[in-house]
Amino acid sequence: MQTHYWNLQTDTDGAALREAAALIKKGEAVAFPTETVYGLGADGLNGAAVRKIFEAKGRPSDNPLILHIAAKKDILKLTSGLTKQAEILIDKFWPGPLTVIVAKSSIVPDEVSAGLDTVAVRMPSHPVAAEMIRLAGTPIAAPSANISGKPSPTDAETVLADMQGRIAGIVDGGVCEVGVESTIVDTTGEVPVILRPGGITREQLEAVLGNVELDPALAGVEAAKPKAPGMKYRHYAPKASMYVVEGEALKKLPLLAKEAAKFAPVAVICGGEVAESMQRTQNLHILNWGSGKTDLAVKLYRMLRRCDKLGVELIFSEGVTEDGIGLAVMNRMRKAAGRQVLTSDEIEALLKNSSQLKSFVLK
Ligand code: AMP
Ligand code: MG
């Protein structure tokens, strides 16, 4: 399939979005930017169109999609009824990086909801996303525009790398502002539950709702079955083995990285302060996200993909505290690392025994 590429910087008369939206209306799948990550969109009320998304991504069919709308009132035809919590959230945080799970109406195809009796709905704030939905004149089902299992794309070049030849088109609207996916809140129960942390923080939600719970599966509780089916899949994974390093252990990271790089190419994902304390040596790639959690959120997925390109054997990633956007970022980082963490004592032991370090790096 020929994949059309529209660059909005060179599109002066708005033809690009009209063409892209026309393809969606015709039942094709087209990628476009949102404030969180790039989405792969199709007509959310057309089951056959929605199936093209699953095919292009290689996405398991039991993983439901989010419907994107351009006006708050458009949720009313997708749901059999909103709870008070849902109304408050919509009023307060839309348009923006917040998805609400609501009871679905009969017009939502099974392909979208994966057979559940609920549906996920979001009104994005990105002007390109909003205009695409408005022009298409239908809710757009749109998961992240990556091959399933890879980090979500936050720029159009990354979408192209994954999706060229697999979808009808890509709208290039620059780099996404938030960099991690939307927060998903289940509003159908007594107490609102965060199923996936994201662009709207837990603190922001609590400020308007009072008590908000976290789905136990987010804490890595093995027995807990995630209520957002997609959260069970191994997402965001780079090819190399990855470890989170945080707190006290961070002080030992520069030496560990330097020693490990003697055996194989190693990458360190870290903020400016840690980056400055690292010695530049051969085989050591320092990916510096800058100064705060917001910068890390914007860059994390691109850095994970960069590690794949560099062909490193091992990745050490600096962890941040889990307040604000830190909760979403650490959820993605820990998943990428398969929940592997290195403690200060473990680093100490590796530094004391060179053959142990070698087998740790090359395993
Ligand atoms: P993505 O579109 O890739 O951002 O993934 C959408 C996420 O929303 C996945 O984790 C889905 O499992 C989750 N999701 C979509 N619909 C529902 C629903 N009705 N109930 C719970 N989670 C949902
Ligand atoms: Mg995704």
pLDDT in tens, 239-272: 899 999 999 999 999 999 999 999 999 999 999 9
8 close to 171: Cβ distance less than 8 angstroms: yes
What's the pTM?
0.96
Is the pLDDT reported for residue 94 higher than 90? yes
Ligand found nearest the CA of 198: 1
Q: What is the pLDDT of residue 47?
A: 97
Phi, psi of 133, rounded to the nearest 5 degrees: -65, -40
Summarised one tens digit per residue, pLDDT across range 107-152 is: 999 999 999 999 999 999 999 999 999 999 999 999 999 999 889 9
The pLDDT value recorded for residue 193 is 97
Ligand 1 in reach of 100 Cβ (< 6 A):
no
The pLDDT value given to residue 237? 80
pLDDT at 222: 64
Which protein residue's CA is at the shortest distance from atom 9 of ligand 1?
Answer: 230
The yes-or-no verdict on residue 220 having pLDDT over 90 is no
Check if 194 has its Cβ closer than 6 Å to any atom of ligand 1. Answer: no
Ligand 1 pocket member 66 (CB < 6 A): yes
Q: Which of 40, 54, 66, 121 to mutate to test the pocket of ligand 1 (most atoms within 8 A of CB)?
A: 66
- Please tell me the predicted confidence (pLDDT) of residue 93: 98
229 pocket-lining for ligand 1 (C-beta < 6 Å): yes
* Confidence tier at 234 by pLDDT (50, 70, 90): low
| Local structure of 286: helix, strand or coil | strand
Identify the band that residue 227 occupies on the pLDDT scale cut at 50, 70 and 90: confident
Q: Dump pLDDT digits (tens) for 12-38.
A: 888 999 999 999 999 999 999 999 999
**pLDDT for the residue 71:** 98
Quick: pLDDT tens for 145-155: 999 988 999 99
Q: Give the N- to C-terminal CA distance of the chain in Å, as an integer.
A: 40
Closest-lying ligand 1 atom to the alpha carbon of residue 181: 4
pLDDT at 312 over 90: yes
Q: Which atom of ligand 1 is nearest to the CA of 231?
A: 10
Q: So what's the pLDDT on residue 236?
A: 76
- Ion ligand 2 — residues with CB < 5 Å: 143-144
pLDDT value for 13: 87
Q: What is the dihedral of CA 357, 282, 154, 172, to 10 degrees?
A: -150
- HEC string for 98-126: EEEEEEECCCCCHHHHCCCCEEEEECCCC
How high is the pLDDT of residue 230?
A: 76
Is pLDDT above 80 for 311?
yes
Q: What is the mean pLDDT of residues 276-289?
A: 95
Mind listing the pLDDT tens digit for each residue in 183-217? 999 999 999 999 999 999 999 999 999 999 999 98
The dihedral sign for the CA sequence 95, 98, 102, 108: positive
Q: Tell whether ligand 1 has an atom less than 6 A from the beta carbon of residue 184.
A: yes
